[in-house]
Chains A and B, each alone.
Chain A
């Protein structure tokens, strides 16, 4: 049976999260069998044939002039049409902002279960089992599905994108759907982008976050400098956001963003459970804190006990020196 993957695009480009979902679909197909089929909704083909390399054997494309932006009703219709056509055993989404909104709509239309924001998938006795963090990351719930298809959304940056393989050029098949944007009762008027050129926290490879121990908003210049040297995005604890030092969009944690970068540097952050909920699935965690008993050291791979005002500038210089050496 097939595995269907929702191919998320933005501005006419396939997003990395879609490649991650394809990567997991290819791994699942090794045990569950079946072709990996992609479904995409877009204003025009975002270069889907290139996904053959990522393991897709067929791509279904629903186009509409209004699909340049996320259009919930139309996108949901496209995925449902693909499900009816392909009859997959599993449908994978990314738990991105779009996937978080879209997947439950598809689940309700199909009347099937959805396991959201998963960090692991396994096949046991022929059954798909999805693992998902719950209770602020303090426990992991494993769920099975009572019907088909099984819908799953995957936490961004947790699953490895599909490696390039020698897949042929897959067929890109138009998917006919009825969609009348005039009848849609919700429509995107505009998309306001935040700070230009800034990589979003949920997509960043490296994040440097600052906490209340930095004592004031002006001291984030030091965090910005380290982030610039590392090519990182700046994050913050809630204490900092509540104090108005940083915008809410920068907050990492349970009531902020859930991130899984390859490197997370926590500077002067104590490591409260609600902060850990948002970053403990990062691949490598570095903590810089003057308190050797700070809970952040319990989850950090590498720690430096010391004053951020000394350690951070020294680290920035060392990284710059490393960059200069190439």
Chain B
């Protein structure tokens, strides 16, 4: 069984955000690039399914500039078999552009499970997985926190987190799934894995993106919250805290 895991290289959330001179994008100079944390759960689950079956292939796919190959290597080091790099000029695309390019590539592959992280921690859009599913005409379950595959691998039962509970969804393969934290505990790449990853193939394909459906007008630092007030020290501050919450903020 072929599984494809679509992964994204993102700025580490610890990154100090500096807006580039174009006023619309992140200044990449001091950025540490990492594999999107949610994608790790997706990779791990695909690897576990392959290992449980004792057969099959896990392909990792990423769209982006030349730099994303380091992230693809990280995924290969975790245990993926090979990689596809949909190479762009590196300018940040919007979600529908990404979904169209990925769907076009996936159309040619006979993957049974198409994995994603539930969202990328840079733009937090959470759009590409359901969009890809729609473009391919596949069913899709997002925010998957647990999954069981049927013995014949034609169906899966997934649990997704919703407000105040979990939806239990039965889905017929081929299907698109997006992984939530808690789905599993992702493995660290072993030294052997890192060595092996160096020899695994990355298939580089240049892609031309469709025109964007969204246009970034500006990127700016958020308006600072007006500086707060220390109302006091210790339990003695409680009466004043209650007063301001009631009379000034009017929240209790």
Interface on A for B, CB 8 Å cutoff?
A: 69-70, 72-73, 76, 96-98, 100-105, 107-109, 111-117, 129, 132-147, 184-194, 198-200, 202-203, 206, 230, 248-249, 254-256, 262-263, 273-274, 277, 280, 283-287, 292, 297-307, 310-311, 314-315, 318-319, 322
What are the residues of chain B within 8 A of A307 when measuring CB–CB? 234
Task: Verify if B168 is at the interface (C-beta below 8 Å from A).
Answer: yes
Q: Please, which residues of chain A bring their CB within 8 A of the CB of B163? A: 96-97, 200, 202-203
Instruction: Given A141-B123, A284-B251, A301-B225, decide whether A146 and B215 contact each other with a Cβ distance below 8 A.
Output: yes
Whole-angstrom CA separation of A254 from B14 in the bound complex: 12
Jot down 21 A-B pairs with beta carbons below 8 A, ordered by A. Answer: A97-B163, A104-B134, A107-B131, A108-B131, A109-B134, A114-B214, A116-B95, A133-B222, A145-B215, A146-B212, A186-B175, A188-B169, A190-B167, A192-B168, A193-B165, A254-B121, A280-B222, A280-B225, A303-B230, A304-B241, A311-B235
| Highest count of chain A CB atoms <10 Å: which of B11, B96, B135, B211 | B96
The number of chain B residues touching the other chain, given as a range, is 35 or more
- Beta-carbon contact of B219 and A97 below 8 Å: no
What residue in chain B is nearest A70 (Cβ atoms)? B167
> Are A301 and B228 in touch, CB under 8 angstroms?
yes
Contact of B215 among A103, A143, A255, A274 (CB under 8 A): A143
Determine if B95 and A104 form an interchain contact, defined as CB atoms under 8 angstroms apart.
yes
Candidates B159, B216, B233; contact of A305 at CB < 8 Å: B233
State which of A108, A277, A292, A306 has its C-beta within 8 Å of the C-beta of B130.
A108
Q: A185-B175, A285-B228 are in contact. Are A108 and B249 (CB under 8 A)?
A: no
- Report which residue of B216, B237, B238 has the largest number of chain A beta carbons within 10 angstroms of its beta carbon: B238
CA distance A136 to B13 in the complex (A): 6
Contact with A along B167-181 (1 / 0, CB 8 A): 111111001000001
Interchain CB contact (< 8 A) of A297 among B14, B167, B230: B230
Q: Are B238 and A318 interface neighbours, CB within 8 A?
A: yes
Complex contacts, A138 vs chain B, CB 8 Å: 16-17, 221-222
Contact between B220 and A136 (Cβ–Cβ < 8 Å)? no
A116 CA / B171 CA spacing, docked (Å): 25
Closest to B17 in A: A138
For residue B10, give the distance in angstroms from its CB to the closest CB of chain A. 9
Cβ of A263: which chain B residues have Cβ within 8 Å of it? Answer: 245, 249, 251-252
Which residues of chain B come closer than 8 Å to A129, judged between CB atoms? Answer: 217
The interface residues of chain A lying within 8 Å CB-to-CB of B122 are 134-135
| B213 pairs with A113, CB closer than 8 A | yes
* A contact patch SS: mixed
Q: Does B47 make an interface contact (CB < 8 A)?
A: no
Given A72-B140, A98-B162, 9 more pairs with CB closer than 8 A: A104-B131, A186-B141, A193-B165, A203-B163, A292-B230, A298-B225, A299-B228, A304-B230, A315-B241
- Smallest CB gap from A287: residue in B: B228
Interface residues of B in 56-80 (CB under 8 A from A): none
CB distance from A278 to the nearest CB of B (A): 11
Contact A186 B168 (CB under 8 A): no
Whether B130 and A318, one on each chain, are in contact in the complex, defined by CB atoms closer than 8 angstroms, is no
Closest A residue to B128 by CB, please name it. A104
Cβ of B108 within 8 Å of any chain A Cβ, yes or no, is: no
A73 to chain B, nearest CB (A): 8
Contact status B167-A108, CB under 8 Å: no
Bound-state Cα–Cα, A302 to B242, Å = 10
Identity of the chain A residue whose Cβ is nearest the Cβ of B11 in the assembled complex: A135
Q: A134-B124, A135-B13, A263-B249 are in contact. Are A105 and B172 (CB under 8 A)?
A: no
When distances are taken between beta carbons in the complex, the residues of chain A under 8 Å from B167 are: 69-70, 188, 190-192
* Bound Cα distance A188, B231 (Å): 49
Interface pair B235/A306, CB less than 8 Å apart: yes
The complex places the Cα of A322 from the Cα of B25 at a distance, in Å, of 49
- Complex Cα distance, B252 from A263, in Å, reads 8
Contact with A along B113-132 (1 / 0, CB 8 A): 00000000111111111111
CA distance A297 to B231 in the complex (A): 11
* Interface presence of B244 (CB below 8 A): yes
Residue of B nearest to A313 (CB): B235
Instruction: List, in ascending order, chain B residues with CB within 8 A of A184's CB.
Output: 139
Complex CA gap A121/B160 in Å reads 30
Report Cα–Cα, A189/B155, bound state, in Å. Answer: 13
Contact between A186 and B214, CB atoms less than 8 A apart: no
- Cβ–Cβ < 8 Å partners of A306 in chain B: 233-235, 237
A140 to B96, CA, bound (A): 20
Contact A189 B219 (CB under 8 A): no
Cα distance A186–B239 in the bound complex, in angstroms: 54
Does the CB pair A111–B213 fall under 8 Å? yes
Q: How far is the CB of B164 from chain A (nearest CB, A)?
A: 4
Nearest chain B residue, comparing its CB with the CB of A230: B252
CA distance A111 to B163 in the complex (A): 28
Q: Which residues of chain B are within 8 angstroms of A142 by Cβ–Cβ distance?
A: 216-220
Known contacts A107-B127, A111-B213: does B234 contact A139 (CB below 8 Å)? no
In the bound complex, CA of A111 to CA of B131 (Å)? 10
Instruction: Judge if B19 is at the interface, Cβ distance under 8 Å.
Output: yes
B99 at the binding interface (Cβ < 8 Å): yes
Contacts of A114 in B (CB 8 A): 95-96, 125, 127, 213-214
**CB nearest neighbor in B for A96:** B163
Distance A318 CA – B237 CA, assembled complex (angstroms): 11
